Amino acid sequence: MTIRSLIQEMRSRPHRIVHDAASTAPGSDPFRWSELPEELLREILIRVESADGGDWPSRRSVVACAGVCRCWRLLMKEIVSVPEISSRLTFPISLKQAGPRDSLVQCFIKRNRNTQSYHLYIGLTNSLTDNGKFLLAASKLKRATCTDYIISLRSDDMSRRSNAYLGRVRSNFLGTKFTVFDGNLMPQTRAAKMLKSRSSNLMKVSPRVPQGSYPVAHISYELNVLGSRGPRRMRCVMDTVPMSVMEPRGRVASTSFFRSHSKPLRSNSASCSESSNNLRDPPLVLSNKTPRWHEQLRCWCLNFHGRVTVASVKNFQLVAVGECEGETEQRTERIILQFGKVGKDMFTMDYGYPISAFQAFAICLSSFETRIACE
């Protein structure tokens, strides 16, 4: 049986099957795909993964293979490389993993003013007008003292109690400071509470299980009431990403879909000098690249390499900032995140190592807020 016939037969099944050979009912025929020798199965899946390339919608064959049975799923997790190496977004876990080192993942955001919602897509072509593949959705909740952006895997489910909930972005009253919260730990917490209620009194919930979301990044915009300091100035402190990842051999801690193994390096956005003294490995700090003044156009300009076509105060490029040395800062030239306007409600978002699609999307959401004190 060829690879193409295997995939076609798998797609023709009426629904997604998660099969365990040990749970096969007595007297029923065993699932023949689960009985393939592991060496042959691995070779088949490697060819499927390599034949589909790195673009959607062909990557759906890889996802379909991972949903056949437990054995296929475990092998696919080993075969498919992380975005840092392959530059491919295949499974939902890829949205929480660091982007590629040598390139930027090209995405775009569509804004719906009526519903106050934002949808993130990955571009399927180099065109700025393609439909793309849906990745994440966010909904804006305006409150009396702050603004919340709920980030979810599904555009039709923005509940914080849903398994699709990934996190949120919360602003202060003036809209000059934002905190990004990772909410992937909440479903595991509810499962632990459920086990406690259904079990005997002898079983206790582990105190290590988090009791809610925790901050992973802090974003601040510098005050500029009279507009004398030029365009917006923003600063992002990545609390769970150390500064050492910018070194040639630096690596971001691995992450899973409902559990993050990295812990916050600090609990507040203190100054860079304090973090350098109190921590052996301070958190990564990102700052917007300073635009240059164009005399002929009479405006501030940045080189987005054709990814931005409309001038806007929301446009920015983020680079890493080195450790503080007096009042001077050393900034790298490599762009980690760039965001810009290409239409009335269309924006491009390109990100790379060491931040993830979730972190990049959360940072860009903070730019949509209108703040008079910073413009």
Higher pLDDT, 256 or 220: 220
**Residue 372's pLDDT band (boundaries 50, 70, 90)?**
low
CA distance 163 to 32: 32
Q: Where are the domains of the chain?
A: 33-80, 83-185+212-246+280-374
Is there a contact between 170 and 181 (Cβ–Cβ < 8 Å)? yes
Which residues is 340 bridged to in the sheet? 348
d(CA 299, CA 101): 32
Residue 319 neighbours by CB under 8 Å, 6+ apart: 286, 287, 288, 289, 331, 332, 333, 334, 335, 336
Q: Quick check: 196 pLDDT over 90?
A: no
Q: What is the pLDDT of residues 72-91, one digit of tens each?
A: 888 888 888 889 888 888 88
pLDDT tens-digit map of 229-239: 557 788 999 98
Best CATH choice for the domain 83-185+212-246+280-374 from the list 3.40.630.10, 3.20.90.10, 3.90.580.10, 3.30.565.10: 3.20.90.10
How many Å apart are CA 280 and CA 286, to the nearest integer? 19
Question: What pLDDT score was predicted for residue 202?
Answer: 42
3-state secondary structure of 179: strand
Q: Which has the minimum average pLDDT: 85-89, 257-261, 324-328, 358-362? A: 257-261
Angle, in degrees to the nearest 10, between helices 38-51 and 3-11: 80
Average pLDDT on 96-106 reads 91
